[in-house]
Amino acid sequence: MFNAWSRRDRAPEDGTAAGLDGFAVDKTFLSSLKGILLETELDFLRCVSAIIIFLVVSFAAVTSRDGAAIAAFVFGIILVSVFAYDAFKIYRTEMVPRAAQGDQQ
Protein backbone atom coordinates (compact mmCIF):
# COMPACT_ATOMS: atom_id res chain seq x y z
CA MET A 1 0.00 0.00 0.00
CA PHE A 2 1.32 3.46 -0.87
CA ASN A 3 1.37 6.04 1.86
CA ALA A 4 3.43 9.11 2.75
CA TRP A 5 6.29 7.03 4.12
CA SER A 6 6.66 4.90 1.01
CA ARG A 7 6.46 7.95 -1.30
CA ARG A 8 9.14 9.69 0.72
CA ASP A 9 11.74 7.09 -0.25
CA ARG A 10 10.99 7.26 -3.98
CA ALA A 11 12.59 9.75 -6.34
CA PRO A 12 10.21 12.43 -7.65
CA GLU A 13 8.66 11.92 -11.06
CA ASP A 14 9.95 13.92 -14.00
CA GLY A 15 8.56 17.45 -14.14
CA THR A 16 6.87 17.44 -10.75
CA ALA A 17 8.10 18.08 -7.27
CA ALA A 18 7.65 15.34 -4.68
CA GLY A 19 4.21 15.60 -3.11
CA LEU A 20 3.13 18.62 -5.17
CA ASP A 21 1.42 16.85 -8.04
CA GLY A 22 -1.75 18.97 -7.85
CA PHE A 23 -0.12 22.30 -7.07
CA ALA A 24 1.39 24.16 -10.00
CA VAL A 25 2.87 27.62 -9.61
CA ASP A 26 2.76 29.76 -12.70
CA LYS A 27 5.96 31.75 -12.36
CA THR A 28 5.31 33.71 -15.52
CA PHE A 29 2.03 34.98 -14.09
CA LEU A 30 3.61 35.92 -10.77
CA SER A 31 6.36 37.87 -12.53
CA SER A 32 3.90 39.67 -14.82
CA LEU A 33 2.32 43.01 -13.91
CA LYS A 34 -0.99 41.39 -12.92
CA GLY A 35 0.79 38.89 -10.66
CA ILE A 36 2.82 41.60 -8.95
CA LEU A 37 -0.30 43.71 -8.42
CA LEU A 38 -2.18 40.70 -7.04
CA GLU A 39 0.60 40.01 -4.55
CA THR A 40 0.76 43.66 -3.54
CA GLU A 41 -3.00 43.95 -3.15
CA LEU A 42 -3.12 40.82 -1.01
CA ASP A 43 -0.34 42.16 1.20
CA PHE A 44 -2.18 45.48 1.52
CA LEU A 45 -5.44 43.70 2.40
CA ARG A 46 -3.58 41.64 5.02
CA CYS A 47 -2.47 44.86 6.70
CA VAL A 48 -5.92 46.44 6.56
CA SER A 49 -7.64 43.34 7.95
CA ALA A 50 -5.06 43.11 10.76
CA ILE A 51 -5.71 46.75 11.63
CA ILE A 52 -9.47 46.14 11.87
CA ILE A 53 -9.08 42.96 13.92
CA PHE A 54 -6.59 44.47 16.38
CA LEU A 55 -8.73 47.59 16.85
CA VAL A 56 -11.83 45.52 17.63
CA VAL A 57 -9.97 43.22 20.01
CA SER A 58 -8.18 46.13 21.72
CA PHE A 59 -11.37 48.04 22.38
CA ALA A 60 -13.11 44.87 23.55
CA ALA A 61 -10.25 44.16 25.97
CA VAL A 62 -10.20 47.64 27.49
CA THR A 63 -13.85 47.43 28.56
CA SER A 64 -12.99 45.20 31.55
CA ARG A 65 -10.67 47.87 33.09
CA ASP A 66 -8.15 45.34 34.47
CA GLY A 67 -4.44 46.06 34.39
CA ALA A 68 -3.81 43.28 31.91
CA ALA A 69 -6.67 44.48 29.72
CA ILE A 70 -5.22 47.97 29.58
CA ALA A 71 -1.81 46.52 28.71
CA ALA A 72 -3.48 44.48 25.95
CA PHE A 73 -5.15 47.66 24.67
CA VAL A 74 -1.84 49.53 24.55
CA PHE A 75 -0.13 46.60 22.83
CA GLY A 76 -2.99 46.39 20.33
CA ILE A 77 -2.74 50.09 19.55
CA ILE A 78 1.02 49.71 18.99
CA LEU A 79 0.35 46.80 16.61
CA VAL A 80 -2.31 48.81 14.80
CA SER A 81 0.18 51.62 14.26
CA VAL A 82 2.81 49.17 12.95
CA PHE A 83 0.33 47.59 10.51
CA ALA A 84 -0.93 51.04 9.45
CA TYR A 85 2.65 52.12 8.73
CA ASP A 86 3.22 48.91 6.76
CA ALA A 87 0.05 49.47 4.74
CA PHE A 88 1.09 53.07 4.06
CA LYS A 89 4.54 51.99 2.86
CA ILE A 90 3.03 49.26 0.65
CA TYR A 91 0.58 51.72 -0.84
CA ARG A 92 3.20 54.39 -1.39
CA THR A 93 5.94 52.19 -2.88
CA GLU A 94 3.97 49.56 -4.78
CA MET A 95 0.53 50.81 -5.75
CA VAL A 96 0.98 54.52 -6.50
CA PRO A 97 3.90 54.24 -8.96
CA ARG A 98 2.15 51.47 -10.91
CA ALA A 99 -1.04 53.55 -11.17
CA ALA A 100 0.98 56.52 -12.42
CA GLN A 101 2.68 54.31 -15.03
CA GLY A 102 -0.72 53.06 -16.19
CA ASP A 103 -1.94 56.64 -16.70
CA GLN A 104 1.04 57.56 -18.89
CA GLN A 105 0.60 54.65 -21.30
The pLDDT tens digits along the chain (105 residues) read 444 444 455 555 555 555 555 556 677 777 777 777 778 788 888 888 999 999 999 999 888 888 888 999 999 999 999 999 988 888 888 767 666 666 665
Q: How far apart are the first and last CA of the chain?
A: 59
Rounded to two decimals, the pTM is: 0.59
Burial of 83 (0-12, 13-18, 19+ CB in 10 A): buried
Q: Are 39 and 30 in contact (CB under 8 A)?
A: yes
For residues 105 and 101, what is the distance between their CA atoms, to the nearest angstrom?
7
Q: What is the pLDDT of residue 7?
A: 47
